[in-house]
A and B are shown apart, each in its own frame.
Chain A
Amino acid sequence: DVKVTQSSRYLVKRTGEKVFLECVQDMDHENMFWYRQDPGLGLRLIYFSYDVKMKEKGDIPEGYSVSREKKERFSLILESASTNQTSMYLCASSSPPSGTYEQYFGPGTRLTVT
């Protein structure tokens, strides 16, 4: 079974803090993704990566950055957390050999910024 893990299930941070969300997958997947999920807005793609040291902006990258130093690990960074970044953050991975790109998700990190 594919396993995607995220460093924290719940996180509370103060406005202005730098926040690191870590994601690790154990299936040697090429592709990794960070989403946020908010009620009524669904899943929105923040950043994604197809390879080590490679990153691409998704639909809502503002206020976020990412790092992929190793294939299995993809980190999301909130440079200066703001209250509008309170959300559920979901990491996912996928691999091209199957050709269909279905994604496998981690359990999510519920971040509250106060």
Chain B
Amino acid sequence: RKEVEQDPGPFNVPEGATVAFNCTYSNSASQSFFWYRQDCRKEPKLLMSVYSSGNEDGRFTAQLNRASQYISLLIRDSKLSDSATYLCVASGSARQLTFGSGTQLTVLP
């Protein structure tokens, strides 16, 4: 079983749609959680951290459910520029991070 599991997609949505990505993690000791965004043939970049209380950054909302070991990312009013692969990330032992394989999103005009 992978330590961080995501639906690989692809998710194809029209502009303006709301899309949600889900992720589960297996290490109950994980303390830090993130969503990264990776554009085609580019490096992953930090999109946002995920906190237990939930957090929002503009059109993006992240939620963490520690009891279910579940992380989500909601994107509202999708833009063409949101097309990318979204990586769910949980901290592993010490200072390491464990990355999911990513969910591919394509926003269509």
Contact = CB atoms under 8 A, between A and B. Distances in A.
Interface of A: 31, 33, 40-43, 45, 48, 50, 58, 90, 94, 96, 99-108
Contact of B97 (A41, A96, A99, A101): A101
Contact of B91 (A31, A33, A41, A101): A101
Given A101-B91, A101-B95, A102-B32, A41 B101 contact: yes
B43 A107 contact: yes
Contacts of A94: 95
Contacts of A43: 44, 87, 99
Contacts of A50: 94-95
B108 to A, nearest CB: 23
Interface of B: 32, 34, 42-46, 49, 87, 91, 94-97, 99-102
Which of B49, B87, B95 lies at the interface centre, i.e. has the most chain A CB atoms within 10 A of its CB?
B95
A96 B95 contact: yes
Nearest to B33: A100
A91 to B, nearest CB: 9
A39 to B, nearest CB: 9
Given A42-B100, A43-B44, A100 B95 contact: no
